[in-house]
Amino acid sequence: MAQRPDVKIECRNLSKSFLTEQYTINVLDDISLDVRENEFLVVLGPGQCGKTTLLNCMAGIIMPDAGKILLDGREITGPGPDRGVVFQQYALFPWKTVMDNVGFGLQIKGVGKAERTGIAQRYIDLVGLQGFEKSYPHQLSGGMKQRVGIARAWANNPEVLLMDEPFGALDAQTRYAMEKETLSIWETDKRTVVFVTNNVEEAIYLGDRVIVMSCMPGHIKSQYPIDIPKPREYTDPRFLEMRRLISDDTELSL
Amino acid sequence: MDAIEAAACKLPLVPRQPTPYALKLKASARDNYISIVSFAAFLVAWELVCRLGIIGAYQLVPPSQLVTTFIMKLTNANPDGGTLLEHTETSLVLALTGFGAAVLVGVPLGLFMGWYKPLDIMVTPIFDAVRPIPPIAWIPLAIIWLGIGLPAKAFIIWLAAFVPCVINSYTGIKLTNPVLIRVAQIYGASNWETFYKIGVPSAIPMVFTGLKLSLNASWTTLVAAELLAASQGLGYLIQMGRRLAKPDIIIVGMLTIGFTGALMSWGLNRIEARFASSKRVRL
Amino acid sequence: MKIVRALKSKLLLPVMSVGICIAIWQVLHLIIGGEFLPSPYQVYREAVRMFSVKIGGNTVWMHVYYSLRRVVIAYLLGAATGLPLGMYMGWNRTFDKVVKPVFEVLRPIPPIAWIPIAILWLGIGEGPKIFICYVGAFVIFVLNAYTGMRYTDPLLIAAARTYGASRRQQLFNVAIPASMPSVFAGVQNALSMSWMCVLAAELVGAREGVGYLIIQGMDMYKPPMIMVGMIIIGIIGASLAAILRRFERVVCPWRRDLT
């Protein structure tokens, strides 16, 4: 099937349910979605409404019950280094140092130590963790851990980066700083990003396009292209206008 | 997912028919057939090894003979002086008595030690000195003090069961969430009330861990004590089996010991599930 | 100066503990009477005597050596066989199902219950003693390796998969390191179990070893000798545990991160 040239990921009619003893929970209900090449796409929705499930399907960690996901026209059958993931709970390997964590993907690929160290160092510098190469995750703060997570995912040079509420566990100030940093990394090293969040401001600050998901049932409500040039100001009138628009939209979905 | 979690879920819940029991049984049989086949193969191999004389009759007996010996021992007091049931009863009574007595003293002691500093300071040194010495090492001293017989065995078993009770209760109550203690203080609870209503309930999971360790220790120590100095009981049974060079009695005895121990652990787990399920005591 | 202060604070509590213990012991001795409970001084005197003579043909140090040797051999054998087995059982569901039935039947049998059949099979000598310790340590190693492997945080495995790690890479790069804390808990439990088992085996029948020492004390009706033996046993047990804890801190420095 012919694919439009600038579409990186195509989700067609995705459905996913989970079964408990007494209920079937329809988490995703016939979702279709396109992600364009080098686009920073934000998926916005309240908590517990299936955004993570959608992301995990794109990552290949779980398989949808119905529908398929195409990456560059090829169907996804499982996880792989072409789709990097940044997890909300960091998922850092506690027995590895920061340097070893960041270089993990390269190690799996079989890249030699010297080259690996060089690439990892570049990304450690990019996220601002110079000097912490030999530290262990338990010695780092939440924000620092997530920076390691981002560096690790980015260092593996994936075609797509999937970020699952990466700043959800951080305090407000760290969060603002991380948003800024993510944007600057993305500007330096552009690639396709799908970013999941429940924070409207974060969505508008980061996204080229914001997709609003609703809960009952889990499907895509609406889309908002954000045309404000980056870097954006939280207090810019256009920003506030978008914020109002999207907030009103999400409020109805509760 | 219970009713409260269901109500809080924002996603659409579609009621479904729970899987019928027959299907569940089928599924679990399918899951386990590898285990069943493997166990059967093991038994067959064992049988063959014995029948073909690869291992002599004085060292190992085939499973078929074990079954006959087992049935025989249920009612026959030969050749050691008691039926299997009598031995098991003797052992069980002793182990459970020791265990019960240890729990009655050990759990409260551990809880109080963990809460009240003066008691802690007084008792902990004694405890720390006695703890590294394995209970079995007390056997010679116990025999000198109390003679060969029931009191010595009971003392050792009690000692073995006592230590894990105290340690785990102590740790359990020490790990009480300090925030909860604060809350109690703000509401004006006395130290005793806080101990009784907050400390003890939150220590229950660890207390049960201690109980399980304690039960295991008392059963193990009982076997050791009966091996060394007894005239009845499962430990005595397997020792007699060796003296008479009858491996079938030894193996039947060993399996009975294992099975009884597992049964008691299972019983304790059920009690824990009833009274201390994590849903109830999640603080 | 700092070192002295640190040493002082670390030593102060245990030393005070021991002091209080000896004091209470002395009091009990006065209450209960010399026959049953020798005084600390009597025990000390006996210890001095014991260390200067040969008991049953061996010095006390030799007895300690015999016991330790049995423990170490059994323990290392147990680790070498139990850890890989447990890990593989935890990793490969099919293998788990094959091995599980036999293991679950043997597991509840206390190691000490193996003594009679071990003597029947291996005679009287080093064989049964090492065998019992081995059984005790083996079971613990298997269980802890199994739990560590089975309950590896699935998130970490998922993360590894997103980097394209093959099954084998997941095993060696993620699952095995992640199960190390559980393995180490097993390492310590297995050692204390081995120590207990060697003692039990020696009590049943031995001519050398620390168990022999306390049996001799019993046969010769000498409570001070028994108590010296018990104290030696306690000290060695505690020292072994302390050495292992040190070792763990070196090998698993991140352990404080996980509860």
Read off the pLDDT of residues B203-215 as tens digits, 9 standing for 90 and up: 999 999 999 999 9
Cβ contact, residue pair C97, B129, below 8 Å: no
Separation between Cα atoms, residue A44 and residue C163, nearest integer Å? 26
Are C48 and C1 within one domain?
A: no
Cβ contact, residue pair B143, C199, below 8 Å: no
Residue A185: its H or E element: helix A172-188
Residues in chain A: 254
Is C132 exposed, middle or buried, given 0-12, 13-18 or 19+ CB atoms closer than 10 A? Answer: buried
Residue C34 has pLDDT above 80, yes or no: no
First to last CA, chain B: 19
Per-position b or e across C99-131, b if 16+ CB within 10 A of its CB = bbbbbeeeebbbbbbbbbbbbbbeeeebebbbb
**Domains defined along chain A, listed by start:** 7-82+159-252 (3.40.50.300), 94-157 (no CATH)
pLDDT tens, position by position, B183-200: 999 999 899 999 999 999
Nearest CA in chain C to A59: C162
Q: Provide the percentage of residues in chain B whose pLDDT is more than 70.
A: 97
pLDDT tens, position by position, C73-83: 999 999 999 99
Are C11 and C77 within one domain?
A: no
Domain ranges of chain B: 10-61, 74-281
Total number of domains in chain C: 2
Compute the Cα dihedral for B159, B161, B163, B169 and give only its sign.
negative
Among the listed residues C175, C145, C148, the one whose alpha carbon sits nearest the alpha carbon of residue C78: C145
Interface membership of B262 toward C (CB under 8 Å):
yes
Which range is least confidently modeled, A86-90, B23-27, B174-178, B244-248?
B23-27
pLDDT tens, position by position, C180-204: 888 988 898 999 999 999 999 999 8
Cβ contact, residue pair C116, B145, below 8 Å: no
- Per CATH, which fold does B74-281 belong to? MetI-like fold (1.10.3720)
Residue C215 has pLDDT above 80, yes or no: yes
Residues in chain C: 259
Sequential DSSP letters for B29-86: HHHHHHHHHHHHHHHHHHHHHHHTTSS-TTT---HHHHHHHHHHHHH--TTTTS-HHH
pLDDT tens, position by position, B88-146: 999 999 999 999 999 999 999 999 999 998 888 888 888 888 888 999 999 998 988 88
Average pLDDT, chain B: 88
Cβ contact, residue pair A22, B18, below 8 Å: yes
Structure confidence at residue A101 (pLDDT): 95
Cβ contact, residue pair A60, C155, below 8 Å: no
Sequential DSSP letters for chain B: --HHHHHH--S-EEE-PPPPHHHHHHHHHHHHHHHHHHHHHHHHHHHHHHHTTSS-TTT---HHHHHHHHHHHHH--TTTTS-HHHHHHHHHHHHHHHHHHHHHHHHHHHHHHHH-HHHHHHHHHHHHHHTTS-GGGGHHHHHHHH-SSHHHHHHHHHHHHHHHHHHHHHHHHHTS-HHHHHHHHHTT--HHHHIIIIIHHHHHHHHHHHHHHHHHHHHHHHHHHHHHS-SSSHHHHHHHHHHTT-HHHHHHHHHHHHHHHHHHHHHHHHHHHHHH-HHHH--
Helices C126-150 and C115-122 cross at an angle (nearest 10°) of 130
Separation between Cα atoms, residue B219 and residue B99, nearest integer Å? 9
Are C84 and C28 within one domain?
A: no
Cβ contact, residue pair C237, B133, below 8 Å: yes
Separation between Cα atoms, residue C143 and residue C172, nearest integer Å? 19
Structure confidence at residue B283 (pLDDT): 38
Structure confidence at residue A251 (pLDDT): 67
Are C75 and C165 within one domain?
A: yes
Measured in angstroms, the CA of C177 and the nearest CA of chain A are apart by 7
Chains that touch C (3 or more CB pairs under 8 A): A, B
pLDDT tens, position by position, A136-174: 999 999 889 999 999 999 999 999 999 999 998 888 888
Structure confidence at residue B282 (pLDDT): 39
Measured in angstroms, the CA of B18 and the nearest CA of chain A are apart by 6
- Written as one letter, the residue type at B241 is G
Q: Which residues pair with A213 in a beta bridge?
A: A220
From the list B6, B12, B15, the residue facing A26 with the nearest CB is B12
Measured in angstroms, the CA of A23 and the nearest CA of chain B are apart by 4
Residue window 86-105, chain B: list those with CB within 8 Å of chain C: none
**If you ran DSSP here, which 8-state letter would residue C254 be given?**
G
Residue A3 has pLDDT above 70, yes or no: no
Structure confidence at residue C255 (pLDDT): 60
- Output B244 or B11, whichever has higher pLDDT: B244
What does pTM read for this prediction? 0.88
Q: Provide the percentage of residues in chain C whose pLDDT is more than 70.
A: 93
Residue C65: its H or E element: helix C60-91
Separation between Cα atoms, residue A26 and residue A209, nearest integer Å? 26
Which residues of chain B have a CB within 8 Å of the CB of A50?
Answer: 11
State both tokens at B245: 């060079």
- Alpha carbons within 13 angstroms on the beta-carbon side of residue C113 total 28
Which residues of chain A have a CB within 8 Å of the CB of C174?
Answer: 93
* Token pair 């963790």 in the structure block, residue: A129
pLDDT tens, position by position, B47-94: 998 888 887 777 888 898 899 989 888 888 777 778 888 899 999 999
Structure confidence at residue B222 (pLDDT): 94
Structure confidence at residue B170 (pLDDT): 94
**CA max distance for chain B:** 78
Separation between Cα atoms, residue A49 and residue A217, nearest integer Å? 8
Residue B37 has pLDDT above 60, yes or no: yes
pLDDT tens, position by position, B222-274: 999 998 888 889 999 999 999 888 899 999 999 999 999 999 999 999 999 88
Are C163 and C84 within one domain?
A: yes
Structure confidence at residue A248 (pLDDT): 86
Q: How confident is the model at residue C6 (pLDDT cuts 50, 70, 90)?
A: low
Among the listed residues C230, C233, C209, the one whose alpha carbon sits nearest the alpha carbon of residue C43: C230
**Which CATH number characterizes residue C209's domain?**
1.10.3720.10
**Phi, psi dihedrals of residue B124, rounded to the nearest 5°:** -55, -40
Nearest CA in chain A to B9: A48
Structure confidence at residue C259 (pLDDT): 34
ipTM of the complex: 0.88
Which residues of chain B have a CB within 8 Å of the CB of C234?
Answer: 129, 132-133, 137
Structural domain boundaries, residue C14: 1-37
pLDDT tens, position by position, A222-247: 899 998 888 888 899 999 999 999 88
Measured in angstroms, the CA of C212 and the nearest CA of chain B are apart by 11
Are C54 and C28 within one domain?
A: no
- Are the CB atoms for B227 and B235 separated by under 8 Å? yes
Structure confidence at residue C9 (pLDDT): 64
Measured in angstroms, the CA of A130 and the nearest CA of chain C are apart by 21
Are C166 and C139 within one domain?
A: yes
Q: Which of B31-40, C15-24, C133-142 has the highest mean pLDDT?
A: C133-142
**Pick among A16, A17, A22, A49 to test the B interface (most B CBs inside 10 A):** A22
Q: How confident is the model at residue B31 (pLDDT cuts 50, 70, 90)?
A: confident
- Give percent helix, percent strand, percent coil of chain C, each to the nearest 5: 85, 0, 15
Cα separations in angstroms, B101 against B106, B156, B158, C31, C183: 8, 12, 7, 25, 33
